[in-house]
Structures are given as structure tokens and as C-alpha cells.
Amino acid sequence: MKNIAVIGAGTMGNGIAHTFAQCGFQVNLIDVNETALQNGLATISKNLDRLLAKEKISEADKTNTLANISSFTNLKAGVKQTDLVVEAATENLDLKLSIFKQLDAVCPPEIILATNTSSISITQIAAATKRADKVIGMHFMNPVPIMQLVEVIRGYNTSDLVCETIMQLSKTLRKTPVEVNDYPGFVANRILMPMLNEAMETLYNGVAGVQEIDTVMKLGMAHPMGPLQLADFIGLDVCLSILNVLYDGFKNPKYAPCPLLVNMVRAGKLGVKSGEGFYDYTTSKKAETVSKQFS
């Protein structure tokens, strides 16, 4: 595989494109929104500048990486003559089903279709195609160029050959792939999201404040980032979406989203992406939000 199409130029999509391109792959970055594409390319360039400043790459590495990326707003043109498609669109089932139906119609039957979904059933996504054996989950972690893990999720019909191909490809990207089976939340989010949700419940119940909760987990559990700060970083809307998938999938009340999270998302407090969540990112010094107003 040398030619990769990545669908979605947002945080995950541009990170995936960056990673493939830096490892020498030719990448077609696809997004229906031209502004999103340009923002994604600008983010890749900025992240390469950070690596350059830390002397982790050379100027030539940056130039070559950017040269390896082409951008498209037309899906059919973007996936033409590619060896693998990685979908990294918004975590929305209907959107993903629509994209995979389109991909199945325009991609040659031998092409593997991967999704970066963090919680949605691979088997359900594969059912929108006529190549369920060639549909697989390739769940990268954020920020993609830095984080080593790739969850490789087998759908019910994913073939052994396709799974092994993606495992080996992940290693080519200097990542550590871990094979898991297709159940709601897979491994990473099935364990992570209840922890973040419990931190929100702890805040909601008035046990401690935002910074106190995060400090306990950072200093007491050696977490590099507190759970509420991590939720802000992931995006509170994304956290809510994943918890809803877990709750719908297992029908277990332990996965029910905290009311505080629900109200913050309704209020547009989505974390870093909106400038405010459990912390305020609009000023140079992060400040705790007045979460009681969303209770």
C-alpha cells in the first residue's frame, strides 16, 4: 500500500493524513468543505513546525510530508487509484453509513475500507457495503502523530487477511496495533468513558471542584492529564456521543451520561474546540467554569 485516502479533515482526519504522509505514503485528504480542508492542511503544517522546532524532524521531512498530501472536495476523485480508504468523519452513524455506501459504489471491490470510529459498530458500518469482509476499524488516538496506539477492530465478517494487513500497516506507521473485537466502545472507550463520566458525576454531586478532581487523578494515579481536562481535550460532544453508544449498546445504567455533561453540550460548552468546557480556554490562564449554571 502506498496510496491512502483519508475522509475528513478535522482533528483526527488531518492527524491521520499527517502520519501517513510523514511515513512516505501518498495521501488524498478529502472533505466536502474547502475551508475545513485548508484548515486541516494548515494544522498539519503547524504541527510539523512544532516537530521541527523540537528537532524531531528536518526541514526536508516537513517539505516531503506536505508534498505527499493532496486535497479533494470530491469523494469519487479523491479515492481514485488508492489502496486504502480511512474514514475519519464526524462520529455520527447515519453519516458514516452514507459515506461507506458511497465508497462501496466507487471503490474497486478489492479496496479495504477502514473507519476511525471510536465507538460505532464496525459490523453495522460494514452492512452498508457489499464487502463486509474488507471493512475494519482503525481507531487512532489523538493527537495521531504522537500517540502510538491503534485499535484494530474486527467486524463480524472482517477477514483474517484484512486484519493482518491493517496490523502490519499500523506497524509501518511506527504505531503499536492492538486487535480487538467489535463491541460498543471497543476497549479504549469502554474503559475510558465511564471514568470520565464518573469524574463528571463527582463534580456534579459537589464532592470536589474541577481542579481538585484533576489534581487527585494526576498526582494520585499518575495520569498525565486529569479526567475533566481530558474530556475537554476530546470534546464534550464526542464524550456524550460515545457514552450514548455505550448506553444504547449495553442498556446498562452505568453508561448513562452525567446530566452535567448533557447540559454543557446543550449550552455549547464543548471543551477546547469551543473555547470553554470544564476549563476556560479563552484566556492565557485556564480558569474553572461555573459548572453550577449547567446543573
Is 33 one of the annotated binding-site residues?
Answer: no
Is 96 annotated in some ligand binding site? yes
Neighbours of 147 (CB within 10 A): 14
Report yes or no: 183 and 190 within 8 Å, Cβ to Cβ.
yes
Q: Quick one: DSSP state of residue 293?
A: G
Cα 232 from Cα 190, distance rounded (Å):
18
142 annotated ligand-binding residue: yes
Residue 252 assigned to a binding site = no
Q: In Å, how far are 7, 34, 110 from 72, measured between CA atoms?
A: 9, 8, 22
Catalytic residue among 14, 68, 121, 139: 139
Tally of CA atoms within 13 A in the half-sphere of 92 that contains its CB: 8
Q: Is there a contact between 85 and 103 (Cβ–Cβ < 8 Å)?
A: yes
Q: Which listed residue (189, 197, 241, 274) is catalytic?
A: 189
**How many helices and strands in the chain, by DSSP H and E?**
13, 10
Is 205 assigned a ligand-binding role in the annotation? no
Residue 219 is given by DSSP the state I
Decide: 291 and 260 in contact? Cβ < 8 Å.
yes
Residue 13 marked as a ligand binder = yes
Can you read off the three cell numbers belonging to residue 135?
471493512
Q: Is 10 annotated as a binding residue?
A: yes
Query: Is 118 annotated as contributing to ligand binding?
Result: yes
Whether 118 is catalytic: yes
Of 18, 116, 119, 151, catalytic = 151
**Burial, 48: exposed, middle or buried (Cβ in 10 Å; 0-12, 13-18, 19+)?**
buried
Q: How far apart are CA 141 and CA 53, in angstroms?
A: 23
CA distance 295 to 76: 46
Residue tagged active-site, from 14, 28, 71, 118: 118
- Is residue 12 part of an annotated ligand binding site? yes
Residue with cell 473485537: 181
Is residue 189 annotated as a catalytic residue, yes or no? yes
Q: Is 58 annotated as a binding residue?
A: no
Catalytic, 121? Answer: no
**SS3 (DSSP) at 154:** strand
Q: Is 167 within any annotated ligand binding site?
A: no
Q: Is 89 annotated as a binding residue?
A: no
Report whether 86 contacts 28 (CB < 8 A).
no
Q: Is 98 a catalytic residue?
A: no
Residue with cell 456534579: 204
Cell numbers for 246: 455505550
Binding site listing for NAD(+):
8-13, 31, 91, 96, 118, 142, 273
Binding site listing:
8-13, 31, 91, 96, 118, 142, 273
For the annotated catalytic residues, the residue numbers are 118, 139, 151, 189
